[in-house]
Each structure stands twice: as structure tokens, then as C-alpha cells.
Structure 1
């Protein structure tokens, strides 16, 4: 271990000169000889070694993030999913039940052995924030057989894709979506375009245009918008100019209509301690007839009788079922799922941003915002970058305090980018996208890989303090640290390796373990070569700076000519 080596420096120096006795010792001796030869060559070509290594690091990172996709979470195979329907708000219970029966029949007609059971429910549906109820809502929940009985590792996800393709020809629902049901906090849709403004009718018109573009984008499925028409209602639109001629305002007309429809009491009857509201309202047949409503007369402030038709238009119509607001402005959202085997949320949103750019330019007063998983991923990446910067600052502060130097902490921390080579290689070899959990593991990896370089630099400093030559101190420290560094890294890698293989049973933890295994494997090998070269370059730079600024240093530290102050005569006159 690292601590054991600190206490056994003199003992190791005496015993390592003895000839190896066992085959394992002989192999270890050959490895030490080979490492010493490679290390001495690296020190002679230190600039090339360091430059080549970090160029390779930059190329690997750029290649990994250009080829692989970055997503919010990498998850395992789903155990259940919903087919959710939103019928028009004036749909009857029978129409909703008939559609649910058809959807359920199509699922069962697949004959897929991975389907364990289906449950159709009318009158409610699951949402990201809970449940919504209504006669026009319903859902079919599909349960997948246990993981050990499935036909393949991705049987649940394949079933979701298969079911999603069943309903392209379904007519009737205002919105139909196939959504995986997973534990954890609610998440937005893979594609969610928010259209914000003040004119609601214009927002709906733009939402239809955006919806058409989304449906034409490859990889999208079950696209819809969340605008819903309400049930049939009696709409009375007051003409403010004509009403003003009679001394009336929309507020006065509204109060009169509320009383006519029984929304406000005409009087109150008291019986003992109880008060009973007295409601006077129009007959139901009158309330449902726009012509008879238009013929009603109300009393103007001047005392004249004014018919409703003279100041307003009365008709049947359907208004919005729900008015949604986001940041105090009306909003209509276009939502869509994606085919995860063909694309990802980031790629689809990037395409949409390019396709919708002309529409955004033509409507400067309307805000187009890309939310859902795309927005959550961007926010998570920004916060992760901030956490990485804070971690770097804390590590540098601790190391600067220990070494009493500004440059040596940078030599120690130089091992962190070395781990990115292994991590990038692991990303490229994996068939999965880069998930946020994997990037969290990358932040944690920064605190692990500095341990070996920290002790290595400290060993070199101690050897130099004893008077050993610089290159010999570096080589000697590398040879002494070779076995402990390998043992420490191997035990860590061996402990995390089983977890890195559990991609299906532990999908949230396996990516983090994989990142640490990949990064630690490569950083261990490169630390033993690149960190000594960086230490040597740091000393070279310090010597050059010392020679260049030597005259300035001598001038600043030279006390100059001594100045003798005349003694002050304190003798009284």
C-alpha cells in the first residue's frame, strides 16, 4: 500500500539488491528493468511524450463526443408501459370504451410471448405529475414478463417499439402516446417544443405548423400538441362600442348573465340562524337556445331596455378546454416520443431547431423553447460542468497547501486528463449512448486518479531533499511506486468490474463503474511515464525562469548601501 511504502523506504533499498528467488520475483525484476529503460527514454524525450499524450487525449475526447450521443439517463428494459389516449372532450363514454377495446385487441393479436397482461381503464390516464380523470381519457397498461423469462435482453423495449407502430391508422383520439412507466421523478417528453405568447389562437395555429414538422422528422412517434377544445358552450361576445352607446360595459353584461343563469343569488331568505340563497334563472330550454338568449332584454343605466342582440353576438361554440401558462404567458406545447433505436432526444431537437428557424424568424413576438428531456439534459450538463470546476479548484487548493508550490499541484493533476483517454475509448467501444450517470462517474474519477501521481511526486521531492540527482530521483521513485500503484489500481478495478457488467440489473450504477474502470486502467499506465516527464519539465521551466529573472531577483533582494541615521541629541539645553 501507499502508507506501507512510506515507512519502508530504507528497508526496501537494502532488500531490493538481493537476487530474485522465485519465478514471480524474476518476472517482477524484468518488469522493473523494462520500466526503467522506458522511463529513462521518456525523460530524454519528455516534451514529445507529454505533447503526444495530450494530443491523443484531445483527439479521443473529441471523437467520443462527436460519435456518441449524450442522453439524460441510460435505463434498463422496461417492465410496463402505457398506451394513453385523449379523446375530444365531448366524446362519450361509449366511444372511449370502444377505442380502448380496439387498442387492447391489437396488442393481444400480436401474440408476443413477452406480454404478461394488459389492463384497460376508462375515465383516467397517467401523466408525468400523477393522474388525470375524465370520460374522454383512458389508457391500456401493458405488463412485461419478468426479466428472467423474456425472449431477449431488450424484449421490453422491442415490445414498446412494436406496439407504437400499431396505431398509425387509428382515427378518433386527439392524442395517443405510448409511454414507458418507470420509477423515479417525472421527466419530460423526448421532444417538447413550447410556444409562448399572448394570442392564444395564434399559438394554436403555430402549434399545428410545428406539429407537422415534428411528424416529418425521422425518428419521432406519437406526436401531438396539448391544446384541447372544451365541450360545447354558449358564447356571448360583447361589442364594446355598441354597448357603450347604451352606457353598458362587458362587466355589466356579464353580471346580468350570471344572474340570469343562476350563478349569483337574487336574494337571501333567513330561517332562524340559517341564510338560504334564492336563485332565479332561465328555463333550461331557454339557456340552450341562442336565439332566445339574444332576444332577452336588460335594463341599461339610463332605464332603457336593450336586447342582447343589439350589443352582443350569441352562438354555440367550443373554447379551449385548458389554458396553460408558463412563466406568466400562455403556452401550447408540441410533444413527441422517439424511436430510441434510431435516434435520441438531442439529435431530434437539433434537427427541429434548424427546420423551425424560418418560422421563429417570421414570428419574433412568439417564443419557441425546446424543453422536455433535451432541456433537462442541457441543465444537468451545465451543473455537472460547474461541479467539475469546483472539484478541480478544491483539489488544487489542497495540493498547493501540501506541496507549498503553485506548479507541482498542476503536475499531480495532470493525471486527470490521462484518464479521459481510457474513458473515451470505453465510450467508443460501448453500444450505448453517453448517459449523465457516466459523466457523474467521470467527476468522481478525478479524485481517484490523483492519488498515484500525488504519492509519486512526493517521493521524488523526498529523494531530492536527500541530495539525489534529479533524474535518478525520478527513476528511483518510479521504480519504488510501480508495484503499489499497480496493486492499488488492480484492486479498485477488480472490485468495480462486476458492477460494470450489470448493465441490465443495475442500469443506473453500471455506467459509473465502467467509467472508473476504463479511466483508471489507462491513467495507471500513463501516470508512471507522463507524470515523471511533467515533473522534469516543471523543474526545467523553473530553472529557466530563475536564470531569466535572476538580475531582477538580485536587485529586489539587495539591501543596497547602508544608511546611518545621525543620533538624536536628547541632552537638555
Structure 2
């Protein structure tokens, strides 16, 4: 059983392939790459594949509007409905596509992953590294990438256990652009030569982009007058370095004597997060082997190491794992509020603080039933399975509530407490079994997809609800009466300790007609005459 996801991957019917070719590629070059990939995709069994849609020069973004560029492309692989596919698991098809595609020529970056809908539609692996210095952020990102590339974890169970690195297509979200040339001015040499930085900046701007020195009006339009070096004279970096700058003494100093040239990789986009410079680490996982929660939990050690090694940067989890944590946190809070309200209502109805606990004792057994169901069905614990558990809790509480109420009524009638409890439990045996069996069997078609009841989103919820109800109800038939007897014995013992008769006032009740009941023999309590 997996450790948890927002929504099960069984409901996936689309796979996305996003790629980026070399920065010098045009639309025609990118189109050629796409055509070759499409040929490979069409070798997939047509029982699994429905449609392939390709976009050139366009790519959807996870965090914002689409991106348009001639070297970007995206392929949508739309699968047939799960009940019609030969390969039911979309993750198996995704791995097959990865094998078919391999590493295409002229492709610098490529991501292949399933497309999810709803709250679980996030990246499998996603960490945001932010800070004030790009240099420090890049160091932290490089360290994490190195550790994650060498990461291994245990997957499978029994004889199928193995150590693998489940992370695929790990990358940063820095998008490389063209090379950048930096002219670094040696301020000491410039000062000795009698040249200031503004002069250097002005000469370089004039040589490359030109200077706007004046605007004139011609035919009611403003026309800018630009001063720049002839384009034929500036073809290379060396041509710029040969430019001469006049100093305060009227001397013409070659630019190359006061600057040095540095070439660095440029980026097309520099991202920020909460006002700070940021880099994201992204990746997919092999969901055929494991799940998002398990991998991110195993990676937590690497993240903590990176935080200690680079205290100047902030590292936080994002993507599907963050969504999953928020979803489960909200669900747990809602469940806690619901349990508190149930307790308050029961305490008010029964006039006791102990009996609500006896009634609610059935809930943990419902949870045990859910966990056993997930284990034996090799199903991942998802948001919908826990929604099923929340619904299941209400049903098992209802069964326990009615049983305890019957026992309370028996206590009024029988002097023998054990007989009262036994009769109360026996009277509810048939109704609980009948309602449990009919409810569970009624949910089986949805849980297993029988008779056209194949809804991937609701199947996990129906599965845990049906089997969890069967388990919890059967256990309740024995546990609740036992706890009720223990409660009564504890109350009797407590009354003896504090010096009161254990039976005092316990069997004395008054109805609306002021009719009282009292113990007359060891087995029965009889009605006495109405008090005048």
C-alpha cells in the first residue's frame, strides 16, 4: 500500500510530452523533431491510444499562461477510456513512451508525464529555492540535483523488493538563453587613465545600440536622431575592444586597456518568488514502482542537509506533494471538528460523558478496516479513500448509537445488567448485519467497476467504505457490548470506592406520568402503582 496521494492515478487518460529544442532552432526544425516523435508514438497499441495532438511553437505552463517560442513544442497523447484499454495503468504507458522516445536529436529538454485533473494536478517533484543571491541559489540547486541524481530507495514488497532511483527527468526551471558577454571595467586602471564609468557605458551603447541625441519634428511626427558606429565597423567583440575613449587630457584610450571580457550562459527567464530570486527543481517519478508521497518523504533528508549547508537560501516543497499535504491537513481538521460535534451531541442526548466514548469506539475499527482493505487490494491511500473513511465513521457511529440505546432501555427493565446488555446486543444483531451486508454489496459494483459502474474517482471511496463497513460492523457487535459492561463495572466500582450503593438510583427512573420503577427481585423490575 502506498503512503498517500491526493487522487488516484487510475483516473488518468492523457499523457503530456513537453520539449525544448536548441536555442537556434526555428519552427521548421522543431516541426521535424515532432514528426519523428509522432511516428514512434503511433507504434503504441491502438487499443490504448486514441489521439495524438501536437503543438509547435507553443507550450502550456504549469504556473502561468502558455509560452510561445519557435524552439518549444508539446504533444498531447490522449488515451482511450480505461475500461476499453488493453493497458489499464497509464503509468505503464508513460514508461513505454519514455522507452520509445529516448533522447531525440537537437532536443535540450524534455518532460513526459501523465496529466492530472483537479487538486492533484501538480509536479511530482518540485522544490523552490529562493534567496537574495543567484550564485548561492545555483549552488544549492546544484547540490540538491547531485544528491537527487544519486538517490535510491526501496520499493516493492516481499520478493519484489528492490533499490531504485524512482526520479526521472530531473531538472531546474532555469531556461537557458543565448550566451552573454560581460565587459568588466577595471576601475583602478580607468581612474589612472582619467576615464569614468559613464564614459565607458556611453561609448559601448553608441557602438552597439546607438545614442538618441535629439528629436526633431517632421510632418507633425517626432523623429529621433541616433548616433552610432557603422555596423560594418562593429562585427566582433574585438572590434568593440578597439574602440577609443577620450579622457580628460584629450587622449584617446583603447577600451581593451581598461576592460576584460567574460562570457557566461544567459537565461531567457529569471524567476522570482515572494520578491526573492528563485530557482525551481522539477522532476517526475516512476509511478509504476512507487508514489509521490513516498518519494518526497524519502527526499526530506536531502532537503534538510541542503538547508543546513546553505542557510542563506530558503527551500520549500511545492507541486503535488504540497497540495497533498494541504488537502490531508484540511481533511483531518474537518474530521476532528466532526468528531467533537458528534461527541457533544451524544453527551447531550445521553446525559453522560462516558457513553459517547463507548459509541465512538467503533470509529478506530472502521479505520483498521480501511487500512486492511487498502493493503489487500494493493491500493494507494488517497484523498478519496479518506473521504470514504469519514463517511464510514458516521455509519458505524449510528450502528453503535442504536445498540447502546437498546442496552440502556434494557437496564431499565432488567435488574441483571449482563442480561440487559446481552438482550440489547441480540436485538440489534439481525438489523446491523442486514443493513451492513446490503449497503456493502450495493457498493461492490462501483468499487470493482461491475455492470458499467466504472468511475475511477469514486471507486477507491466505494471500496474502503464497503469493506470498512463490513469489518467495523462485525467487530462492533462484540466490542460495544464488552465496552458497555466494562463501563458499568467501572461505575459500580467507583460508587463503592466513594461509599455509595452501586445500585442506588441506577434503576430508578420516572416517566411523564410520574410512574417509578424499582428492583423487586434478581431478574425483573415491576411497575408499582402511580403515586398519588
TM-score category, normalised to shorter length: 0.7 to 0.9
* Segment drifting more, 191-200 vs 382-391: 191-200
Q: Is 2:138–2:279's contact at 8 Å kept on the other side of the alignment?
A: yes
SS at match of 1:543: helix
State the match for 1:525 in structure 2: 474
Q: Give yes or no for the alignment of 1:211 onto 2:145.
A: yes
Question: How far did residue 79 of structure 1 move?
Answer: 2.9
State the match for 1:506 in structure 2: 455
Question: How far did residue 426 of structure 1 move?
Answer: 0.7
* Segment drifting more, 345-354 vs 470-479: 345-354
Q: Give yes or no for the alignment of 1:153 onto 2:80.
A: no
State the match for 1:423 in structure 2: 370
State the match for 1:184 in structure 2: 118
In structure 2, C-alpha distance between the alignment counterparts of 1:122 and 1:299, rounded to whole Å: 50
Question: How far did residue 201 of structure 1 move?
Answer: 3.5
Report which structure shows greater RCO (CA 8 Å, sep ≥6): 1
RMSD of aligned alpha carbons: 3.5
Consecutive unaligned residues in structure 1, runs of 5 or more: 1-66, 552-573
State the match for 2:399 in structure 1: 452
In structure 2, C-alpha distance between the alignment counterparts of 1:247 and 1:404, rounded to whole Å: 92
State the match for 1:562 in structure 2: none
In structure 1, C-alpha distance between the alignment counterparts of 2:274 and 2:111, rounded to whole Å: 26
| Residues 1:488 and 1:548: Cα distance change in structure 2 (over 3 Å) | same
* Segment drifting more, 359-368 vs 120-129: 359-368
Question: How far did residue 257 of structure 1 move?
Answer: 5.7
Higher helix share: 1
SS at match of 2:269: coil
Which residue of 56, 60, 68 maps to 1:133? 68
SS at match of 1:141: strand
Question: How far did residue 509 of structure 1 move?
Answer: 1.1
SS at match of 1:434: coil
Mapping of residues 82-481 of structure 1, within 5 Å: 82-109=16-43, 114-129=48-63, 130-147=65-82, 149-154=84-89, 156-184=90-118, 187-217=121-151, 218-239=165-186, 248=196, 265-270=212-217, 275=222, 277-285=224-232, 289-296=236-243, 309=256, 312-314=259-261, 317-354=264-301, 360-466=307-413, 468-481=415-428
SS at match of 1:237: strand
In structure 2, C-alpha distance between the alignment counterparts of 1:263 and 1:462, rounded to whole Å: 97
Q: Is 1:81–1:143's contact at 8 Å kept on the other side of the alignment?
A: yes
Q: Is 2:145–2:171's contact at 8 Å kept on the other side of the alignment?
A: yes
| Residues 1:144 and 1:263: Cα distance change in structure 2 (over 3 Å) | farther
* Segment drifting more, 224-233 vs 428-437: 224-233
In structure 1, C-alpha distance between the alignment counterparts of 2:289 and 2:295, rounded to whole Å: 10
| Residues 1:404 and 1:302: Cα distance change in structure 2 (over 3 Å) | farther
In structure 2, C-alpha distance between the alignment counterparts of 1:459 and 1:117, rounded to whole Å: 61
| Residues 1:531 and 1:336: Cα distance change in structure 2 (over 3 Å) | same
Question: How far did residue 456 of structure 1 move?
Answer: 1.8
Q: Give yes or no for the alignment of 1:81 onto 2:15.
A: yes
In structure 2, C-alpha distance between the alignment counterparts of 1:240 and 1:384, rounded to whole Å: 61
In structure 1, C-alpha distance between the alignment counterparts of 2:280 and 2:304, rounded to whole Å: 17
| Residues 1:116 and 1:384: Cα distance change in structure 2 (over 3 Å) | closer
State the match for 2:429 in structure 1: 482
SS at match of 2:385: helix
Q: Is 1:294–1:313's contact at 8 Å kept on the other side of the alignment?
A: no
SS at match of 2:66: strand
Q: Is 1:237–1:314's contact at 8 Å kept on the other side of the alignment?
A: yes
Q: Is 2:2–2:294's contact at 8 Å kept on the other side of the alignment?
A: no
Q: Is 1:193–1:368's contact at 8 Å kept on the other side of the alignment?
A: yes
| Residues 1:269 and 1:229: Cα distance change in structure 2 (over 3 Å) | same
Q: Is 1:259–1:266's contact at 8 Å kept on the other side of the alignment?
A: no
TM-score relative to the length of structure 2:
0.79
| Residues 1:454 and 1:304: Cα distance change in structure 2 (over 3 Å) | farther
In structure 2, C-alpha distance between the alignment counterparts of 1:177 and 1:167, rounded to whole Å: 11
